[in-house]
Amino acid sequence: MKGTYHIITYGCQMNESDSERLSGQLEELQYQPTDNMQEADVIVINTCCVRESAENKVYGKIGELKHLKAKNPNLVIGITGCMAQKNKEALFERAPHIDFVFGPYNIHHLKELLQSGKAVASHTLKTQMRGADITDFTDLHAVRKSNVFAWVPIMQGCNKFCTYCIVPYVRGREWSRPIESVVKEVRELAAAGYKEITLLGQNVNAYGLDFKDGTDFADLLREVDKIDGIERVRYMTSHPRDMTREMIDTIAQSRHVVTQMHLPVQSGSDAVLKGMNRGYTVEHYCKLVDYIRKVMPDVVLTTDLIVGFPGETEEMHRETLELLKKIRYDLAYTFLYSPRSGTPAAKMAGQVSKDVMKRRLQELMSIQNEISLERNETMVGKTYEVIVEGPTKNNPKMWFGRTSGNKMIIFAPRATTMIGETTQVKVDHAQTWLLRGELAERN
């Protein structure tokens, strides 16, 4: 064994997937993971910069590592991910104890850097955006945290340039993995006993558009759905602008694609959507939802909402509240607008005060929480298939699993060997965020 490593991951599921591939490179070099950062020989922080709060957390953690480097000069410290791409050389200036900075498209360089023996004090910087000469890092070996559930990246980047979003500037233009590459990885996961996969992309509905041969997300879903052994296929995240009826039909007709659809609307105001450069109207969005519910009556629909976008008036805010009442989402992830330097929205007039944003957020959450509870209450008395994930954090005697619609159900297990088991649970109580039930009798 060469030593130990510790990876700290911030941000989205794409970062979680990237960290699994960083772990794969380290373990190929005979490094072993450790939960104790104080003992690690290699520390990698995989970063997010979508919100200012995430960036501040990273800088705080980097500062904590300074005393470890002073105590062990041979300690290798690296920063990867979106913040690494955004801040580049500034990270070395602010924290000279960092040894390397890799952007999201350059994580495959970790192994060669460590093999070279020049990692310590090298100030190696690799933040090249994807080009024809860059290795397909999605084929790197991944050390997965679960042996039941797996992330499968299908694309990188985003071409939408929503005015509030930093992603296109740090993840680059949309680039899709070949279908054959994705199918190969999913087949390997099925052979290894994985039950559920999640196809990842900043905007999965744009999958294949860069091939310019007519291939799209529906084609990929059909191929993945053919693979036996995988019980559930999830995907995130969708964009209403690129969601087509063919994609919806493909999902509705599939064997394994889940009944949950996450379709971020961001606002119920056309004026705000235009300012965000979302590329659709509220009417277009509502027609999509109508069609989804027509062909998928049991769909669990979730969304994202941003409160307090520059220029949002009280009337625009009320339009969003009315949209919630009309659509009746199962769940909405709500966020206060956070200006990010480098994005057009950060310089827009009409920045909304924090107090107003917080009040609007509470109004929005109050309505949505009521709707979420009502929708969960319709599930009481019914039995659902779940894949068991394990004990809950607050009470290890109670376990949980999720339905195809991604609803969490808590129950008492029949054995401590149930992780990964597909079983039936009858719901007997509904809460806003979760359900409670009991295992159904075996036939």
Q: Is 12 annotated as a binding residue?
A: yes
End-to-end CA distance of the chain: 49
Strands lying side by side in the sheet with 331-336 = 260-262, 300-307, 331-336
Q: Is 82 annotated as a binding residue?
A: yes
User: Residue 56: what pLDDT?
Assistant: 83
Name the least confident of 111-120, 121-130, 158-167, 184-193.
121-130
Residues written for the chain: 443
Q: What is the spatial distance between Cα 328 and Cα 436, in angstroms, rounded to a whole number?
A: 22
pLDDT tens digits, 6-21: 999 998 899 999 999 9
Q: Are 151 and 11 in contact (CB under 8 A)?
A: no
Nearest to residue 172, comparing CAs of 213, 127, 135?
127
Q: What is the spatial distance between Cα 423 and Cα 407, in angstroms, rounded to a whole number?
A: 14
Q: What is the spatial distance between Cα 412 and Cα 432, in angstroms, rounded to a whole number?
A: 20
Neighbours of 181 (CB within 10 A): 15
Across the range 55-74, mean pLDDT stands at 90
Across the range 116-139, mean pLDDT stands at 74
pTM of the model as a whole = 0.93
The two structure tokens encoding residue 357: 């944003």
Across the range 328-352, mean pLDDT stands at 94
Q: Is 286 annotated as a binding residue?
A: no
Q: What is the spatial distance between Cα 404 and Cα 423, in angstroms, rounded to a whole number?
A: 12
Name the least confident of 97-111, 240-254, 426-440.
97-111
Q: What is the overall mean pLDDT for the chain?
A: 93
Residue 174's Cβ-side half-sphere holds a number of Cα atoms within 13 Å equal to: 21
User: Residue 130: what pLDDT?
Assistant: 65
pLDDT tens digits, 343-370: 999 999 999 999 999 999 999 999 999 9
The two structure tokens encoding residue 130: 């994807």
Sequential DSSP letters for 139-195 = GS----S-SSEEEEE-EE--S---TT--HHHHH-S-EE--HHHHHHHHHHHHHTT--
218: left (phi over 0), alpha (psi -120 to 50) or beta: alpha
The two structure tokens encoding residue 211: 């091939």
Neighbours of 213 (CB within 10 A): 8
- Is residue 137 scored above 70 in pLDDT? no
DSSP 3-state of 346: helix
232-236 vs 42-47, strand pairing mode? unpaired
User: Residue 136: what pLDDT?
Assistant: 61
Q: What percent of the chain has pLDDT over 70?
A: 97
232-236 vs 260-262, strand pairing mode? unpaired
Q: Is 162 annotated as a binding residue?
A: yes
Residues 6+ apart with CB under 8 A from 137: 21, 105, 106, 107, 108
- Is residue 147 scored above 70 in pLDDT? yes
383-391 vs 422-430, strand pairing mode? antiparallel
Domains of the chain with CATH codes: 4-126 (3.40.50.12160), 139-378 (3.80.30.20), 382-439 (2.40.50.140)
Across the range 267-286, mean pLDDT stands at 98
Structure confidence at residue 132 as a pLDDT band (50, 70, 90) = very low
Nearest to residue 104, comparing CAs of 49, 158, 46, 51?
46
Nearest to residue 15, comparing CAs of 69, 75, 85?
85
Residue with tokens 């129950």: 411
pLDDT tens digits, 363-400: 999 999 999 999 999 999 999 999 999 999 989 999 99
Nearest to residue 148, comparing CAs of 386, 367, 346?
386
Across the range 116-122, mean pLDDT stands at 86
- Is residue 145 scored above 70 in pLDDT? yes
Q: What is the spatial distance between Cα 161 and Cα 337, in angstroms, rounded to a whole number?
A: 16
Q: What is the spatial distance between Cα 269 and Cα 343, in angstroms, rounded to a whole number?
A: 21
User: Residue 11: what pLDDT?
Assistant: 85
Q: Are 110 and 76 in contact (CB under 8 A)?
A: no
| Residue 151, phi then psi, degrees to nearest 5 | -85, 140
pLDDT tens digits, 23-60: 999 999 999 999 999 999 999 999 988 777 778 888 89
Q: What is the spatial distance between Cα 155 and Cα 176, in angstroms, rounded to a whole number?
A: 4
